Amino acid sequence: MQGENQLVELHVTGMHCNNCALSVHKMLEKKGYQNVFVSFANEEVKFTADKGLNVNNVIQDIEGLGFKVQQEEQGFVKEGFLGKIEHKFIFSLLFTLPLFLHMFLPFHWLHNPYVQLSLCLPVFVLGCAYFGKSAINSIKAGVPNMDVLIFVGSTSAFIYSIIGTLLGLGPNYMFYETTATIITLVLLGNVFEKRSVTQTTSAVKDLMKIQVDSAVRIVNGQAERVDINQLKIGDTLLVNEGDKIPTDGDIVWGDASVNESMLTGESIPVEKGKYDAVIGGTILERGSIRMLVTKVGNKTVLAQIIDLMKRAQAAKPPIQRLGDKVAAIFVPVVIGIALLTFVLAYFAFDIGFRQALLNAIAVMVISCPCAMGLATPTAVMVGLGRSAKQGVLIKGGDTVEEMTNLKYMVFDKTGTLSTGKFKIRDIKSELSDIETATLIHGLESYSNHPIAKSLVNAFANREKRKIVFTQVKEEKGLGIKAMDSEGHRYQIGSKQLVEDSKELGNYDVFLLRDDELVVRIAIDDEIKAGAKELVQTLKGQQIIPVILSGDRKEKCDALAASIGITEVYAEKLPHEKLELIESLKQGGKVAMVGDGINDGPALTTADVGVSLGDASQVAIQSAKVVLLNNDLQSITTLLKIGKHTLLTIKQNLFWAFFYNIFAIPLAAFGFLSPMLAALAMACSDVVVIGNSIRLKFKKL
């Protein structure tokens, strides 16, 4: 019998590219762990394993690959001076500068081979510790990384120089400045890379800054400030004007204006009153409230958004598979090319051992699988971060690519293309006003459907009597079935409840008591702002808009005609919606846009499910995209960001491939020295990451 699984989360430092993350990922999968998630940018490793796993063994395996695991309980671990990549670069630079400048400075002692050896040795030892350990362990893991090329190249130059020094072969055998310069320039590239990647992950860091570390809790009428981790569900908190709301909860006293821009991108404050839900991290701009805690820790909306963002940034779009395949075989191929370069140069073209070796070293140093590994994740991070700041949560890099290849965009009607706020146009009842209000308000309060919510609000202030329902059941697409304490059976919902079509008239909601129709309600719904403009945008991008709704055909046709949609499927039950989505998928990629309440199965079945809903639903949405501000304009934003993110990925991959295709032959034919090759290699990463960062500010 398989044991219960546990989630293991580790903070791993030292991963500076996708190849590093890939080596950790493959090692963990070989060990048999499930749901492996590795993000080099966020320095996170997560996986599930059987209960009773010795985490220390896993830590040893990861550190055996050349990375460092920092456990939570260790707290802040003070690094030595050489613990940071910036300090490694400064240390190397101090020894490399005199070595490099000996060609230009009139100091004869700098030409002494033993002086050069003493200057080069500290840099070489540092390079072996940093690149060598990573290189050897990546080979053991079966995923050779860029460090193999750097280590082999710098070591070849160093060993050749040592032999020349010991045998007294003269200055033509001195490559100490080449060794030190290669290591120093690659470290410089890593510094640029680290700082650039930090910028690409700023969206997640910005969200994490929103989190509150303390709260004011009311205990026996007294206020006390406590750590956020001490809060429990059911605690009462005091939040005053200007404070951040500490966690998710419901207002039990007071009124306030709450700025929810960190979730929705909408800067206009939202008015909140008693029983309204509030989200942790939002700002109370006016008023003072007491709130009841409903969610804590990683169950809060903000915590789930942060986790969602981290996972989304690590999800690979299909276009990355090409880069991954090339990067996986790249290092062995480059070493093969370097050996071939040396053999041909020395034996076939007879250009001398020294120059042949320099050409081979230049080939290894110029090659940069890191640029290919960084091309996709950095663009995805920036694209997803930019969309999140505008209230659009995309749950994976693969979704970005799917959004750019859509053939159909299917819309639910109620709450999606329409506002979901209904007005009663007409009501015909066989019951008294009090009984009508009592039954409709009581029954519809059990549903979250927009029509139900509107009816509850409409009858909230009318006179009612008390009624007790002993059984209540909601059937998606039909309505509510219930029984009261006196044994009466009730059904309220759509026209599917009424067998005789003559009794429908121009009504939308029907109430039956003991199978007898007693109330008919006609309702009106408003078209949501921006619906017509969105349809025109979709048509301009050759995406076919479709209405798929359970509402009456006359209403769906009227709305479709007013906003320019010609393909309409009305009066569909949830299982019929699924069948239609499956049918449309035969003709191309399908996005389904719904309110996230009734449309869960259809959202999941579509290639891309897009949910318009309030922030409190984020954790339970089955969609791949969540529009936090409930605005159709966000779909246009989604399409634009998806298009430009994919374009950025393609540009990055082009430059990464083009760079290697162009640079390797130059190095092989001796047009690039190893030092110039190291500088060019460092620049290639910066170009790719810089292009990704450009997406953050680019006008869409």
CATH code at position 67: 3.30.70.100
Q: Is residue 639 part of a domain?
A: no
Domain final position from 60, 78, 96: 78
Does residue 95 share a domain with residue 57? no
In the block, residue with structure tokens 């100091």? 107
State residue 105's pLDDT score: 62
Does residue 197 share a domain with residue 92? yes
Domain final position from 458, 492, 526: 526
Domain final position from 632, 655, 681: 632
Does residue 595 share a domain with residue 674? no
Query: What does the pLDDT look like over 45-82, one tens digit per residue?
Result: 888 888 778 888 888 888 877 788 876 544 444 455 66
Strands (DSSP E) contained in 117-274 are 214-219, 222-227, 236-239, 249-253, 256-259, 270-272
Q: How far apart are the first and last CA of the chain?
A: 54
Residue 543: which CATH number?
A: 3.40.50.1000
Query: What does the pLDDT look like over 523-582, one tens digit per residue?
Result: 877 788 888 999 999 999 999 999 998 777 888 888 899 899 999 998 887 778 888 988
Query: Within 10 A of 504 (CB to CB), how many other CB atoms are there?
Result: 14
State residue 203's pLDDT score: 55
Does residue 183 share a domain with residue 34? no
Strands 608-612 and 589-594: parallel
The set of residues, in sequence order, having a beta carbon less than 8 Å from that of 8 and lying 6+ positions away, is 33, 46, 47, 48, 49, 53, 55, 58
| Buried b or exposed e, range 362-399, using 16+ CB within 10 angstroms | bbbbbbbbbbbbbbbbbbbbbbbbbbbbbbbbbbbbbb
Residue 425: which CATH number?
A: 3.40.1110.10
Does residue 513 share a domain with residue 407? no
How many domains does the chain divide into? 5
Provide the phi-psi class of 199: left if phi over 0, else alpha when psi is between -120 and 50, else beta: alpha
Q: Measured between alpha carbons, how far is 433 from 462 in angstroms, rounded to an integer? A: 9
Query: Within 10 A of 556 (CB to CB), how many other CB atoms are there?
Result: 23
State residue 489's pLDDT score: 92
Residue 227: which CATH number?
A: 2.70.150.10
State residue 568's pLDDT score: 93
Q: Is residue 673 part of a domain?
A: yes
Annotated active-site residue in 147, 398, 412, 525: 412
Q: Is residue 148 part of a domain?
A: yes
The set of residues, in sequence order, having a beta carbon less than 8 Å from that of 636 and lying 6+ positions away, is 533, 534, 537
Sign of CA dihedral 646, 647, 650, 655: negative
Does residue 245 share a domain with residue 300? yes
Does residue 107 share a domain with residue 180? yes
Does residue 581 share a domain with residue 506? no
> Active-site residue 412, yes or no?
yes
Residue 244 DSSP label = B
Q: Measured between alpha carbons, how far is 690 from 378 in angstroms, rounded to an integer? A: 9
Amino acid at the residue 574: P
Q: Is residue 503 part of a domain?
A: yes
Which residue positions in the chain have pLDDT lower than 50? 1-3, 73-78, 615-616, 618-620
Residue 597 DSSP label = S
Does residue 622 share a domain with residue 497? no
Q: Is residue 638 part of a domain?
A: no
Q: Measured between alpha carbons, how far is 504 from 493 in angstroms, rounded to an integer? A: 12
State residue 239's pLDDT score: 92
Residue range(s) defining the domain that contains residue 45: 5-78
Does residue 193 share a domain with residue 330? yes
- Given a contact cutoff of 8 angstroms between Cβ atoms, the answer to whether 285 and 269 are in contact is yes
DSSP 106-120: --GGGG-HHHHHHHH
Q: Is residue 373 part of a domain?
A: yes
Q: Is residue 101 part of a domain?
A: yes
Does residue 112 share a domain with residue 27? no
Q: Is residue 310 part of a domain?
A: no
Does residue 154 share a domain with residue 105? yes
